[in-house]
């Protein structure tokens, strides 16, 4: 025999039916809506796990890296190398790998104490001109081969990678103390799987220019690597701290260095002109008359430049100069 519903169960069933009918009822368009919902599209294939402020902070960090690397490479190659941040975006690791040429110069980096690995890729369009420059070439009629780098070429590129890692370590030290190291070099990026294909990575694209040649360089940072320090990437706080710390530290370093610097100072009694004959006839006791009056101030020069003027005197058992004023730049001795 079927179960019989009591009154409370019947009331609950009727209430549920009334609620369902009210949900299915047409909406009265003549009546203004009570609430407005903000609807935004969201692509689950490309989730944004790093905020815009944090992306701007990363861009600022690597703009400093680009300037340092450009200066380091210009000194090594004896020619002007321009490095600038071209793009910064969030991708999946699969999208990043499929955007790279094959073969290329693909380097795996570690950043202890951060866990995980980063990728630094340098395009063959600029890596071969750099190698040619290191070997004394002119890059005028250089052919870009479609092949992996040889062992000798890898050794030469290693000099560039070492400078890049030093620059990265320097600029990242303002955020977190890390030490970048080269772990492995590969020519085929599809053979390297440092994170899952759908994992979010931040890709910073650089543009390198050398005379008539140009190419790209990409730094891939998986989100799981920077996740422990991503909270420090607040634009306002971090950039303000960086500017203040840099200015204060450098100013104090300059002051400390200048305090120990030694300079040469010279006090001139005066000057005059004599002939060679008069010079050869000079003897002990002769008097040389200068063009400066006896009551005039003597000029004190620092490293060959006029700095102060003063009066000649005596301090204890030594000759001394009492500074009375600042000397003019073109003032005669």
What are the pLDDT digits (tens) for 66-97?
Answer: 898 888 888 888 888 888 898 888 888 888 88
Q: Between 8 and 36, whose confidence is greater?
A: 8
What order do you get walking across the sheet with 200-210 strand by strand? 81-92, 200-210, 213-222, 117-122, 105-112, 179-186
How many Å apart are CA 303 and CA 298, to the nearest integer?
A: 16
Tell me the whole-structure pTM to 2 decimals. Answer: 0.56
**CATH superfamily assigned to domain 52-251:** CheC-like (3.40.1550.10)
Q: 119 exposed, middle or buried (CB, 10 Å; 0-12, 13-18, 19+)?
A: buried
Break the chain into its structural domains and give their ranges: 52-251, 265-275+290-326
Question: Which range has the worst mean pLDDT, 116-120, 245-249, 289-293?
Answer: 245-249
pLDDT grade for 235, boundaries at 50, 70 and 90: very low
On the question of pLDDT at 245 being above 50, the answer is no
* Cα→Cα distances 68→169, 194, 216, Å: 11, 27, 17
How many Å apart are CA 241 and CA 292, to the nearest integer?
A: 56
């Amino acid at each position: 025999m079927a179960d019989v519903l009591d009154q409370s169960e019947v009331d609950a069933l009727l209430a549920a039916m009334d609620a369902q009918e009210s949900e299915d009822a047409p909406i009265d368009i003549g009546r203004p809506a009570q609430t407005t919902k903000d609807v935004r599209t969201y692509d689950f294939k490309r989730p944004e796990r790093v905020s815009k402020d944090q992306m701007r902070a990363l861009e600022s960090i690597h703009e400093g890296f680009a300037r340092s690397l450009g200066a380091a490479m210009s000194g090594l190659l004896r020619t002007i190398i321009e490095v600038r941040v071209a793009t910064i975006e969030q991708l999946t690791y699969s999208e990043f790998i499929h955007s790279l040429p094959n073969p290329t110069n693909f380097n795996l980096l570690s950043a202890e104490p951060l866990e995980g690995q980063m990728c630094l890729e340098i395009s063959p369009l600029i890596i071969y001109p750099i190698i040619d420059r290191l070997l004394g070439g002119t890059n005028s009629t250089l052919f870009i081969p479609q092949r992996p780098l040889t062992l000798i070429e890898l050794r030469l590129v290693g000099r560039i990678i070492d400078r890049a890692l030093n620059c990265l370590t320097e600029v990242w030290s303002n955020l977190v103390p890390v030490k970048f190291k080269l772990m492995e070099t590969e020519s085929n990026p599809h053979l390297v799987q440092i994170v899952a294909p759908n994992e979010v990575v931040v890709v910073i694209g650089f543009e390198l220019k050398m005379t008539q040649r140009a190419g790209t360089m990409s730094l891939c940072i998986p989100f799981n690597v920077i996740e422990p320090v991503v909270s420090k990437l607040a634009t306002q706080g971090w950039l303000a701290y960086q500017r203040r710390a840099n200015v204060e530290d450098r100013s104090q370093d300059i002051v400390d260095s200048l305090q120990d610097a030694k300079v040469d100072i010279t006090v001139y009694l005066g000057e005059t002109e004599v002939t060679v004959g008069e010079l050869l006839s000079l003897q002990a006791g002769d008097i040389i008359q200068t063009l400066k009056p006896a009551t005039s101030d003597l000029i004190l020069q620092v490293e060959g430049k006029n700095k102060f003027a003063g009066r000649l005197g005596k301090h204890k058992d030594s000759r001394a100069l009492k500074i009375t004023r600042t000397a003019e730049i073109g003032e005669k001795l």
